[in-house]
Structure 1
Amino acid sequence: MDAGRNAGKGRLLGLSLPWIAGLALLGVPRVVAHDLGPPPQAVNLVLVLAPIAAWIAVALWKRVPNPLVTLLAVGLVYGVLLGAVHQVLWTQAFADGAPALGGNLAGTLSPAAEDLLLRGAAMVSSLFTGVLVGLISGLVALGLSRALHRN
């Protein structure tokens, strides 16, 4: 009965939405640490690699049908969280002065429009980063899954 009840859950993504969100949340401490001031190098390395290793380990442990799709979804949610944290901690991250457009664009927009543009670019960059991390970890998990479950 348990297998039948869970058969449709997360079929497309391989994991339920709470699992996907939970895995994505593992990357948030690194984002906070980065925005509030760089942590020591060893701590930063753990904060970068441990969530990705957990993503891959869960995809293998749960034997998701397509680790690439699953971890792309995790990466997308991570990208949204990354962007949201950057927005919330914007003033702390740029305590010495917010970024500004330079060169020919310097001073061409109102301060509010320039802030909106830069924050929007940060959000797009965060989404791209999350999806890229999901893609790379998904490819690694896919390769490991095929190697481990070859019958």
Structure 2
Amino acid sequence: MSTVFARRFPATDMSVGLVLILVAIGAPRTVLADLGIVPPNSGAVYFVLALAPFIVWLAVAVVRRSRRPFADFVMVGVVYGLTLVGIHQVTWGVGRSWGYRPPAAAFEFAARFDPGWYDIAARGYTCGIAMMIGVGTGLVVAVVAVLAGWVRGRTNRSA
């Protein structure tokens, strides 16, 4: 286990373990929402599951010193996006019996294609949205991490 926290995640200044933890804390909301157990916007539990992971990301971005704060959180965002893609694709098939309904926008998008491409277009749309959410969130937190490092550096120089 200690090697997971000793090895650096590619292109970052973060350990593999830290990246995996930051990504993993966002997964329960996605799984529970996709399976209809905790539907989106359904109340306090959903909002805690949805927002707590990003509060943790922001806390790590502000508190943790890094030589590559931007790359750290862009990569966390990319891995998070890939995790969302994986969860959505798995629940797409399995989740229907649990009440999962892929987004209507995916089917509206797919309707523009020939029937042979319909499923690929709908799944591709969902994958694209998942990656935009992951990378977009990573970019926002990356900017916060850079600003926190800049403020920390200015504070250290003036002290």
Q: TM-score, normalised by structure 1?
A: 0.77
- Distance in 2, matches of 1:141 and 1:62, equals 8
Alignment of 1:29-44 (within 5 A): 29-37=28-36, 38=39, 40-44=42-46
Corresponding letter in the other structure for 1:114: Y
| RMSD value, Cα | 2.8
Shift of 1:25: 1.1
RCO higher in structure (CA 8 A, sep ≥6): 1
Preserved CA contact (<8 Å) 2:109 2:125: no
Instruction: Work out the percentage of aligned pairs sharing the same amino acid.
Output: 32
Alignment of 1:60-99 (within 5 A): 60-90=62-92, 91=96, 92-94=99-101
Shift of 1:66: 2.6
Deviations 1:64-86 (A, max 9, x none): 12322111110000000001101
- Distance in 2, matches of 1:100 and 1:11, equals 36
Corresponding letter in the other structure for 1:142: V
1:138 counterpart residue number: 142
Say if 2:116 is the partner of 1:116. Answer: no
Say if 2:130 is the partner of 1:126. Answer: yes
1:147 counterpart residue number: 151
Give unpaired runs (5+ residues) of structure 2.
Answer: 1-5
Change (3 A) 1:49 1:36: same
1:24 counterpart residue number: 23
- Distance in 2, matches of 1:131 and 1:64, equals 19
- Name the SS of the counterpart of 1:105 in structure 2: coil
Shift of 1:59: 3.4
Corresponding letter in the other structure for 2:115: L
1:3 counterpart residue number: none
Provide the aligned length of Structure 1 versus Structure 2: 141
Alignment of 1:96-107 (within 5 A): 100-101=107-108, 105=112
